[in-house]
Chains A and B, each alone.
Chain A
Amino acid sequence: EAGVAQSPRYKIIEKRQSVAFWCNPISGHATLYWYQQILGQGPKLLIQFQNNGVVDDSQLPKDRFSAERLKGVDSTLKIQPAKLEDSAVYLCASSLTKSANYGYTFGSGTRLTVV
């Protein structure tokens, strides 16, 4: 089966600019996650979707970050305006159900550098 697809792979922007990342999960996976991984850290959850509804966005900095999954398949994550501390790898993951017990399948990530 095809894996989780993410684009772009790399992005360099200046601070205060906006940027968007795209994710296409594994076909049939109802649950989609966006994680932020800062260099030297483990992934940290930003938002969890179940189909096209938000389940958990408690750690999403909502003043600058937004995410949507309009048709319950693809998702986009946007940052506007970007700050230097947003430099990180943004990982998308998906799972068949909301249960975390069987793990998630991750995409290769988008590496964002804010200068």
Chain B
Amino acid sequence: GQQLNQSPQSMFIQEGEDVSMNCTSSSIFNTWLWYKQDPGEGPVLLIALYKAGELTSNGRLTAQFGITRKDSFLNISASIPSDVGIYFCAGPPGNTPLVFGKGTRLSVIA
């Protein structure tokens, strides 16, 4: 089945640092979604992207829809302790339900 590859798998950063992570696909996506999952909870939608090249922000989070439509990027600026969690990219390959990447686990050191 369709796979989304996320990198890095995990990262440890100092509070106040900026974070970048990305997601790639072997096929074209028309929608990219970024979710965050806190421990013991379900994923929560952060940002949705619908057009190649689109840049969308949600507070300190900024995501980009790659120009090839096979990748997407998520940046977090000035990280804080509550940014800790697992970040997933997701998308529908065609007219199908969402598929998810394996996630990037973010740890913030105060």
Q: What's the Cα separation between A93 and B33 when bound, in Å?
A: 15
Minimum Cβ distance to chain B for residue A19 (Å): 19
Q: How many residues of B contact A (CB 8 A)?
A: 26
Residues of B contacting A25 with CB < 8 Å? none
Cross-chain contact of B102 among A42, A106, A109 (Cβ < 8 A): A42
User: Does B66 belong to the interface (CB within 8 Å)?
Assistant: no
Contact assessment for B44 and A44 in the assembled complex, using a CB-CB cutoff below 8 Å: no
Most buried by A among B40, B50, B96, B97: B97
Q: What's the Cα separation between A35 and B23 when bound, in Å?
A: 20
User: Does A43 belong to the interface (CB within 8 Å)?
Assistant: yes
Residues of A contacting B99 with CB < 8 Å? 45
Q: Mask for B86-110, Cβ within 8 A of A = 1, else 0?
A: 0010111000111111110000000
User: Does B85 belong to the interface (CB within 8 Å)?
Assistant: no
How many chain A residues sit at the interface, stated as a range, is 20 to 34
Contact assessment for A109 and B100 in the assembled complex, using a CB-CB cutoff below 8 Å: no
Once A42-B101, A45-B99 are accepted as A-B contacts, the answer to whether A91 and B48 lie under 8 Å apart by CB is no
Q: Mask for A76-110, Cβ within 8 A of B = 1, else 0?
A: 00000000000000010100000111111111110
User: Does A48 belong to the interface (CB within 8 Å)?
Assistant: yes
**B-to-A contact residues, CB < 8 Å:** 1, 4, 30-31, 33, 35, 40-45, 48, 50, 88, 90-92, 96-103
**A-to-B contact residues, CB < 8 Å:** 4, 33, 40-45, 48, 56, 59, 91, 93, 99-109, 111
Closest 5 CB pairs of A and B: A106-B42, A42-B100, A100-B92, A103-B45, A101-B31
